[in-house]
Amino acid sequence: MTTQTQTRPSVTGATAALDEYLAGSAVPRPRPPLRYLRRKPGRGLVAVFGSGGGDVYTVTVDERSLADATPRATVQEFPADPKLPHLDVAMAPSEHRFLAGALESAARRIHDVPADLPLLDVVAEPVRYKPGDRCVLRYRLRFGDPGSARTSTLVAKLYRQPHEAQAAQDLLVRLRAGAGAGWTARPLGVVPGLPLALTEDLGSGRDPVPARSGLDVVRPGSAEALDVVARAARALAELHTSDVAADEPAPRTAVDEAGKAARRAGLLEEYVPELAPRVRQVAGTLGATLSALPTDTVRPSHGSYKSSQLLVRDGAVFLVDFDQFCQADPALDVGYFLAYLRPAGFWYHRPGLREWVDAAAEAFLSAYLGRLAERGETVETGDGIARRAHVFEAALLLKIAARRVNRLHSPRAGEVAAIVTEVSRCLSQAELPTPVGG
């Protein structure tokens, strides 16, 4: 069978649509920089221009017109988002007394703001925005006198539906109680009438003691990287040995991951046809190995555990974003973290990166297995998780390759070939029997 090269959609349709929109404004404005770009088959292309510090625009290009010379596109100016209908309210707390009141109450409670200090104002700042899905915001509240105001901050996540916000809050409550988790933000409740879940603010890079994303710390050249990796591993072991149940009873299985791996491999075959036979062979072995993994090992799991889901402040490590929380083989989380340890330069054989990735992986696994043992797990249990983790690691490497294609990065054959080689290496590290037909 001959594989046809897939036509790649271009971002130029999105930029042209935004340029036309801006040119028609009462006061013409320059196009802000592109911050987010994703194309999902059947759902079109979404581009976000601008950041929280200025104007933000979302351009959606219709899937059926992606290959046209003039694709059909719509432009939304933040905070307008029909699929996230409460975003405009969440971004204007001073205009909605019920929201300002809920924020004031939470801030006074968590920061011990005296009752005699009046609320001067409250301002919303977008932190992370996923169009049509959810938005993380930081609220800054000022109390007291204008000349000597005291500032308190809260973080909130806006969902589409109230039950999503409530489920997120309930999960944080259970994590802090059931896992003894000092590595999560304290939940502060859901704002009545809005799908807005409040938590304490773990900090930002603007603070005197800055809070940094794990991406900024877990990287080659960082003196803190291995210590942060070890702390993240111990926290994960505590989560896996807790009794916190997921709201969705159906577990996330290795068979599910095998199906995803097959779809990602198919996408790579389309975009890099010269590698199709090799991708197909490796993906076949991966799928068979995943499908043969045991199904009786499920534990409470983060579901998307990687360094970007960490916040590091003054030596402490916090876990964030539990929206993918599930019951799964704990090896899924371990494999997730190991896969995403690789920096972009790894695929181009930059000097020293293999050694750094291996050292970080060793630090993670050693700390994870050590904490499992301290929590009463057997050596056999830990060794089994470590072996299976390499299989999930291999599956997540295919996800990394496919996401570069979906985000319209050029599918460089050399990069894909390097990832496929790494998938094979992970499968050999698993030291599991090769499935029949693999």
Q: What is the pLDDT of residues 323-375, one digit of tens each?
A: 999 999 999 999 999 999 999 899 989 999 999 999 999 999 999 999 999 99
The band of 13, judged by pLDDT with boundaries at 50, 70 and 90, is: confident
Is the predicted pLDDT of residue 112 greater than 90, yes or no?
yes
The whole-number pLDDT of residue 435 equals: 47
Same domain for 122 and 40? no
What does the pLDDT average to over 39-58? 79
In angstroms, the CA 216 to CA 434 distance is 38
Range of the domain at 52: 12-77
Cβ atoms of 139 and 101 closer than 8 Å: no
Residue 31 CB neighbours (<10 A): 15
In angstroms, the CA 55 to CA 284 distance is 46
In angstroms, the CA 411 to CA 400 distance is 12
The band of 207, judged by pLDDT with boundaries at 50, 70 and 90, is: confident
The whole-number pLDDT of residue 180 equals: 66
The band of 436, judged by pLDDT with boundaries at 50, 70 and 90, is: very low
In angstroms, the CA 257 to CA 341 distance is 20
The whole-number pLDDT of residue 9 equals: 54
Is the predicted pLDDT of residue 300 greater than 60, yes or no?
yes
The whole-number pLDDT of residue 397 equals: 96
Same domain for 322 and 287? yes
- 3-state SS string for 155-217: EEEECCCHHHHHHHHHHHHHHHHHCCCCCCCCEEEECCCCCEEEEECCCCCCCCCCEEEHHHH
Rounded alpha-carbon distances, angstroms, from residue 51 to 34, 35, 147, 270, 347: 9, 7, 30, 33, 29
Strand partners for 45: 39, 61
> Which two tokens mark 11?
């971002």
Phi, psi of 117 (to 5 degrees): -95, 115
What does the pLDDT average to over 309-327? 93
The whole-number pLDDT of residue 411 equals: 56
Is the predicted pLDDT of residue 4 greater than 60, yes or no?
no
The band of 179, judged by pLDDT with boundaries at 50, 70 and 90, is: low
The answer to whether residue 7 sits within a structural domain is no
What does the pLDDT average to over 195-201? 97
Domain end, chosen from 150, 166, 200, is at 200
In angstroms, the CA 300 to CA 236 distance is 10
CA dihedral 240, 244, 247, 249 (to 10 degrees): 60
Cβ atoms of 184 and 318 closer than 8 Å: yes
Same domain for 381 and 268? yes
The band of 72, judged by pLDDT with boundaries at 50, 70 and 90, is: confident
Residue 423 maps to which CATH number? 3.90.1200.10
Domain end, chosen from 148, 181, 200, is at 200
Is the predicted pLDDT of residue 407 greater than 80, yes or no?
no
Same domain for 172 and 300? no
DSSP codes joined into one string, 384-421: HHHHHHHHHHHHHHHHHHHHHHHTT----HHHHHHHHH
Domain end, chosen from 143, 178, 200, is at 200
Same domain for 329 and 218? yes
The whole-number pLDDT of residue 406 equals: 52
Is the predicted pLDDT of residue 7 greater than 60, yes or no?
no
What does the pLDDT average to over 400-425? 79
Is the predicted pLDDT of residue 438 greater than 50, yes or no?
no
Query: How far does Cα 334 stand from its chain's mean position?
Result: 15
Coil, strand, or helix at residue 266?
helix
The band of 177, judged by pLDDT with boundaries at 50, 70 and 90, is: confident
The whole-number pLDDT of residue 26 equals: 80
In angstroms, the CA 194 to CA 162 distance is 6
Cβ atoms of 22 and 29 closer than 8 Å: yes
> Which two tokens mark 149?
């105001």
> pLDDT tens digits for 208-224?
888 999 999 999 999 99
The band of 3, judged by pLDDT with boundaries at 50, 70 and 90, is: very low
Residue 118 maps to which CATH number? 3.30.200
The answer to whether residue 378 sits within a structural domain is yes
In angstroms, the CA 127 to CA 101 distance is 22
The answer to whether residue 327 sits within a structural domain is yes
Instruction: Burial-class residue 299 by CB neighbours within 10 Å (0-12, 13-18, 19+).
Output: buried
Phi, psi of 94 (to 5 degrees): -65, -20
- Tally of domains in the chain: 3
Between 281 and 271, name the one with better pLDDT: 281
Same domain for 95 and 229? no
The whole-number pLDDT of residue 344 equals: 87
Same domain for 290 and 180? no
Enumerate residues 6+ apart whose C-beta is below 8 A from 357: 341, 342, 346
Same domain for 219 and 71? no
Tell me the pLDDT of the chain averaged across its residues: 89
The answer to whether residue 435 sits within a structural domain is no
The answer to whether residue 2 sits within a structural domain is no
The whole-number pLDDT of residue 408 equals: 46
Same domain for 234 and 153? no
In angstroms, the CA 179 to CA 237 distance is 10
Same domain for 132 and 64? no
In angstroms, the CA 435 to CA 438 distance is 5
Task: Tell me which of 120-134, 176-190, 336-350, 383-397 is least confident.
Answer: 176-190
The answer to whether residue 108 sits within a structural domain is yes
Residue 384 CB neighbours (<10 A): 18
Q: Which residues of 86-123 are buried (b: 16+ CB within 10 A; e: fewer)?
A: bbebbbebeebeebbebbbebbbebbebeeeeebeebe
Same domain for 318 and 192? no
Same domain for 92 and 46? no
The whole-number pLDDT of residue 5 equals: 47
The whole-number pLDDT of residue 250 equals: 86
The answer to whether residue 381 sits within a structural domain is yes
The answer to whether residue 3 sits within a structural domain is no
The whole-number pLDDT of residue 88 equals: 95
